[in-house]
Amino acid sequence: MKAYKGIIFILGLIYLNAAMALQWPNNAKSAVSVSADDGWPTQLDQASILEKYGFRGTFYLSAGGMPAVITYKDAWRGVFQRGHEVGNHSYSHWADPVLAGKTWQEVAIDVGNMEQWLLANIYSLTPSDHTFAYPGGNYIIGSQDSLVSRQVGSCEYAAFLSAIVTGARIAGSGENDPNKVPNQRYWINGVPIDGDDTTAFNNAKQAIDNGIKNNTWTILIFHALGDGSGLTVTKAGYTKIISYLQSRQTDLWVAPVIKVKNYIMSNIPYSPWSCPPVE
């Protein structure tokens, strides 16, 4: 009988959890974060465009992978001081073939080196809560082809990240269900946006509109502003997307990744982080 009551209680908790929809700030229907990877110099323009529309974004810097980050470090400190999140994208930004030959300890040191760089050059020696973005979106270290060369999987990677940052973004697809974010805070989904103006706008609009329909959290991922080929979008294309965010402002809460993640975690009950499998 006691066990039976316990099961009913647990089922009740599960039901409550599922039925409890997160209320976004200002009665918004969805949250959107605008993120950018690597620290391309044209992302300083992205910060200005966001500010023109009253928004703040998230910029993941890699000082070794993108040496221009060091050249423009004063400008990046200004971006941080104006309210954007400036996050860790590892120091060396090792590509997959290089990463495949690294031990997890080497990767942990590289992430730590970037953290030290941010602390010294961007945060002015005052620690700042921020998130990490996996270089190349890869959250597994070592070749996965053979068990011998495999170093660590996503859980172990997140384990050492958790000593440095409070969340991490992957480059996946789709929006984030806020109920799942606390336990998956080291695998927060982002949607890469690139291509010509029409392609970029349509993909971004679809992700934003899905978020509004499903009350979820959409993170857009940008790289450089360029000619619209490769991983770039044009300046006009980027501006059109940010302008669309403004046109849907009554439905949206636009904020950096760290702010949305922390808001969710202060509003949704969750168990202590314990290396859950990625879904």
Minimum CB separation of residue 172 from Zn ion in Å reads 14
Which residue in the shown chain puts its C-beta closest to Zn ion? 37
Q: How many residues at the interface with Zn ion, by CB under 5 A?
A: 3
For Zn ion, the closer CB: 223 or 259: 223
Nearest CA to 47 out of 26, 67, 65, 61 is that of 61
**Residue among 37 and 115 whose Cβ is closer to Zn ion:** 37
Could you say which residues in the range 124-143 bind Zn ion, by CB under 5 A? 135
Which one of the spans 18-26, 34-42, 49-57, 107-115 is the region binding Zn ion (CB under 5 A)? 34-42
**Residue 101: CB partners within 8 Å, gap ≥ 6?**
142, 143, 149
Instruction: For residues 130 and 64, give the distance between their C-alpha atoms in angstroms, rounded to a whole number.
Output: 19
Least Å from the CB of residue 136 to Zn ion: 6
Q: How far is the CB of 37 from Zn ion (least distance, A)?
A: 4
As measured in angstroms, the least distance from the Cβ of 125 to Zn ion is 26
38, 110, 175, 251: residue in contact with Zn ion (rule CB under 5 A): 38
Nearer to Zn ion by C-beta: 133 or 181?
A: 133
Q: Which is nearer to Zn ion, 170 or 264 (CB)?
A: 170
> Residue 64 or residue 83: which is nearer to Zn ion going by CB?
64
Written as one string, the DSSP assignment of 6-73 is: HHHHHHHHHHHHHH-----GGG-SEEEEEEEEET-TTHHHHHHHHHHTT---EEEE-TTTSTHHHHTH
Provide the token pair at 278: 């990625």
Residue reference for tokens 């970029």: 200
Q: Which stretch binds Zn ion (CB under 5 A): 6-14, 31-39, 115-123, 164-172?
A: 31-39
Minimum distance from residue 89 beta carbon to Zn ion (Å): 6
Q: How many CB atoms lie within 10 A of CB 277?
A: 8
Give 179's contacts (C-beta < 8 A, 6+ positions apart): 17, 18, 22, 268
Q: Does 37 bind Zn ion (CB under 5 A)?
A: yes
110 binds Zn ion (CB under 5 A): no
State how far the Cα of 273 lies from the Cα of 157, in Å rounded to an integer.
Answer: 13
Is the CB of 135 or the CB of 182 nearer to Zn ion? 135
Q: Is the dihedral of CA 140, 143, 145, 147 positive or negative?
A: negative
Which stretches of the chain bind Zn ion, using CB under 5 A? 37-38, 135
